[in-house]
Amino acid sequence: MRSLAVLIFVFMVVGCSNHHGGQAKQVNQKNAAQTLPIAYHLFNPQTVDITSEQALFSLSAAQQQQFLDYYNKALAKGDDKHKIISDYLLSKLSNFTYYGETHTASQAMASLEGNCMSLAILTTALARLADVDLAFREVLTLPVFEKQNNLVLSSIHVQTKLFAAPSEGRLSSIFANAGVVIDYFPDSSNIKSRYLKYHQFVAMYYKNIATDALVASDLETAFANALTAYQYDPASVEVMNLLAVVHRRKGDEYTAEQIYKYAMNRAPNNLSLLSNYATLLSIQQRTKEANSLHEKMAKLEDPNPYSWLDQAYLAQQQGNYQQAIAFFNRTIELAPYVNQAYVGLYQVYMAKGHEARAKNAIAKALDWTYKQSERRKLKYKLYGRNKASGINQ
């Protein structure tokens, strides 16, 4: 699943849900306008075809029959319902990737590909057919980045858990119940994170669609889907962040700033939010205010090492090498096993012409690298440069 920023990050995450949650209660536009400062007059969301919640989890009659044929045969053999779904999905996971399109259940079933959000949506649709409870959990992973249309995109991962028996109670406790986790990208460095309710999960789909539209500079579609995400999850600071980016791209920096301020009142220590707002201030040459936010960020105690790695990559993209060095080092303080931070330091130091420091960073990365293929890559950075230099001479 992807997230984005205009040289800034707007985190997109998915979390827990019980599929018996039913239709999410939406906030109407009038109520939304009374809370978040949105410039509705700049957009025409009614011209955009928005996927409905029902369509999001719907499968065609043929797709349902295809699954049910498999399901009923396995059930007749005595297999557990949740494991049948897991086996069915695992046989089709090869084309689900860390990146990829965000599909509805029907689209994902037809193409057998997509990102982790697509997989979670398809899993939900199948679980409903089999009357199996499920939940979703955000998993913090090493961020993966790409740059498109002057937007820096990063990915956040999600796991789906299918339960062996009906689950009731608090989301944080039901995830411990017996079941099977659907995850195409398991890794020992993953950090389990928060649980979300059903309406928050649904909002993630619309945030992803809004992100893709923003990359394509389709601001009408981006706004319409971001607004839908907000209607499902009006407490989400992440979707407020996204709406601010959309307004800024539309040329309305005033409303974008008002949205940032509104969101910061609710999450004053959100790294992504502070970074986004600081970038807007820098664009407006309000250097003193931007520096104040950067100083605040540097003093925060966010325990998530990947949040700092996100910010380090962003500072590196912007050419702010001193800040990048500080954030890479913060990542290492929290999680010295994240060798991507050492590689980042290597790249920054090399860009600054500090080759000795760059090699020192790579040498430290080797202490935390055990796979031979990865060690060879790091050793090439450490020793290969001298060899190449000798050849050039």
Long-range contacts of 256-264 (CB under 8 A, 24+ apart): 256/280, 258/37, 259/36, 259/37, 259/38, 262/35, 262/36, 262/37, 263/237
Helices (H), the chain: 29-35, 53-56, 61-76, 81-90, 105-111, 116-130, 171-174, 198-215, 219-232, 237-250, 253-266, 271-283, 287-299, 305-317, 321-334, 339-351, 355-366, 372-379, 385-392
Cβ–Cβ under 8 Å, residues 304 and 326:
no
Helix (H, G, I), strand (E, B) or coil at 23: coil
- Give every CB contact of residue 276 below 8 A, 6+ residues apart in sequence: 5, 8, 9, 10, 241, 244, 245, 260
- pLDDT by residue for the chain (393 residues), tens only, comes to 544 433 333 333 332 223 333 333 444 444 444 579 999 999 998 899 999 999 999 999 999 999 999 999 999 999 999 999 999 988 877 667 656 788 999 999 998 888 888 889 999 999 999 999 888 877 766 555 555 556 655 566 777 788 877 766 666 556 666 667 766 665 555 556 577 788 888 998 999 899 889 989 999 999 999 999 999 999 999 899 999 999 999 999 999 999 999 999 999 988 888 988 998 998 999 999 998 998 898 888 887 787 788 888 888 888 889 989 999 999 888 888 788 888 889 999 999 999 889 888 888 877 665 555 555 655 555 555 433 323 332
* Stated pTM of the model: 0.76
- How far is Cα 125 from Cα 202, in angstroms, rounded to an integer? 13
Count CB neighbours of 345 within 10 A: 26
Give the pLDDT score at 144. 52
- CB distance 101 to 2 below 8 Å: no
Q: What is the largest CA-CA distance in the chain?
A: 73
